[in-house]
C-alpha cells in the first residue's frame, strides 16, 4: 500500500523503505532523456511506476546531469503542466524536482506535496518561503558547485562531515524561513560534485547524515560510479549496482530511495526488510 506523506516523513523512525520513482520530462537526462518528454508517455510511465509500488513520483523538467545547461521557468512549466493533473490523480505522492519557486508553485497548485530542490534553496530565495506557506515537504540536497561544472575535479577533506555540515546549515536556513523541521528530508547528492571515492564514502556513512534527525534520501540509480566499479558503460545495465547501493544505504539508515527501476528496488527492499524483521523477532524471543 502506498505510504502517506506523514508516513514518508516519519520513515527514518519506522525504518520502512520509501521508493521514489524518477519521471524526467526532459530531452537530455543522463539515462532516459527524451523518453518521457511526450505527455502521454510521461503519464503512462508514472502509472507503471505506481503499479510497481512507487510511493512518490518525482517529476522534473530540467536535467541536472553533469554538464547540463539551465532550463528557465517558462519551459519547465510548459513541460510539466500537461501531465500534473493526471499525476496527482494517481495513488502516490507527487514531488516536483526544481530549484525555481515559480515552477514549484505551479506543481503545488496542481496537487504536488513535496519540493525536491537540488540547490537546497540556494538558487531561489523564494523557495523556502513558498514551502513554509504551503506546508510542503522539502528535500534539501548537497551539491558541490553547479551541474555545468560540478564534476570538474571535486575536492573534500572529509566528504561525509562536510556534506553533513552543509545540510545542517541548510536545515537551519529553511527553518529560520518558517519551514517546519518535521517537513524536511535530506539528500547527500550522490554524483553531484563527487567522484567515485566520495560517493562510496557517503554511502558508507549514511549514519553520519541520519544524526541530523531527518529522513535521508539517496539517489544512486544508474549513476556513473556504478559503471566505474562494474565496468558497465550502458546506464541500462546498472540495475544490480543500484540495488546494492540502495540496500547498503538502507542498512546504514537511509529510508527514501530515488530510482528509475521501481519494481526491482521495491522487491529488493521488501525482502531485505522481511529478513531484518525476522531477525529482530528472533532476538526479542531470545531475550525474553
DSSP state letter for 63: -
Cβ burial, residue 13 (10 Å; 0-12/13-18/19+) = exposed
Cα separation, 123 vs 117, in Å, equals 9
Active site residues: 223, 258
DSSP state letter for 141: E
Q: Cα–Cα–Cα angle for 121, 252, 180, nearest 5°?
A: 35
Bridge partners (DSSP) of residue 257 are 19, 218
Which residues, other chains included, contact 185 with Cβ-Cβ below 8 Å and sequence gap of 6+?
Answer: 9, 114, 137, 138, 139, 140, 214, 215, 216, 217, 256
Which runs of consecutive H residues, i.e. helices, occur in 71-185? Answer: 73-80, 84-87, 101-110, 127-134, 159-176
Q: Residue 59, SS3? A: strand
DSSP state letter for 237: G
Amino acid at each position: 500500500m502506498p505510504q502517506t506523506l506523514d508516513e514518508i516523513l516519519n520513515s527514518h523512525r519506522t525504518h520502512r523503505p520509501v521508493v521514489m520513482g524518477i519521471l524526467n520530462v526532459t530531452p537530455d537526462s543522463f539515462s532516459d532523456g527524451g523518453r518521457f518528454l511526450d505527455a502521454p508517455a510521461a503519464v503512462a510511465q508514472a502509472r507503471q511506476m505506481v503499479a510497481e509500488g512507487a510511493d512518490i513520483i518525482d517529476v522534473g523538467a530540467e536535467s541536472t546531469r553533469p554538464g547540463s545547461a539551465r532550463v528557465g521557468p517558462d519551459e519547465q512549466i510548459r513541460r510539466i503542466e500537461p501531465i500534473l493533473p493526471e499525476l496527482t490523480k494517481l495513488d502516490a505522492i507527487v514531488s516536483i524536482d526544481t530549484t525555481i519557486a515559480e515552477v514549484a508553485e505551479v506543481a503545488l497548485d496542481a496537487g504536488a506535496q513535496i519540493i525536491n530542490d537540488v540547490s537546497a534553496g540556494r538558487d531561489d530565495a523564494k523557495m523556502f518561503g513558498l514551502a513554509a506557506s504551503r506546508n510542503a515537504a522539502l528535500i534539501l540536497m548537497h551539491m558541490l558547485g553547479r551541474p555545468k561544472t560540478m564534476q570538474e575535479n571535486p575536492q573534500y577533506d572529509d566528504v561525509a562531515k562536510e556534506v553533513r555540515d552543509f545540510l545542517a546549515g541548510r536545515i537551519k536556513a529553511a527553518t529560520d524561513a518558517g519551514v517546519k523541521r518535521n517537513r524536511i528530508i535530506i539528500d547527500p547528492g550522490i554524483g553531484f560534485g563527487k567522484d567515485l571515492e566520495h560517493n562510496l564514502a557517503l554511502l558508507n556513512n549514511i549514519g553520519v547524515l541520519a544524526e541530523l534527525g531527518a529522513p535521508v534520501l539517496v539517489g544512486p540509480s544508474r549513476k556513473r560510479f556504478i559503471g566505474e566499479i562494474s565496468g558497465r558503460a550502458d546506464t541500462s545495465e546498472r540495475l544490480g549496482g543500484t540495488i546494492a547501493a540502495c540496500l547498503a544505504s538502507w542498512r546504514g539508515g537511509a529510508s527514501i530511495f530515488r530510482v528509475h527501476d521501481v519494481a526491482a528496488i521495491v522487491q529488493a527492499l521488501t525482502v531485505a526488510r522481511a529478513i531484518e524483521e525476522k531477525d529482530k523477532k528472533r532476538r526479542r524471543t531470545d531475550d525474553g
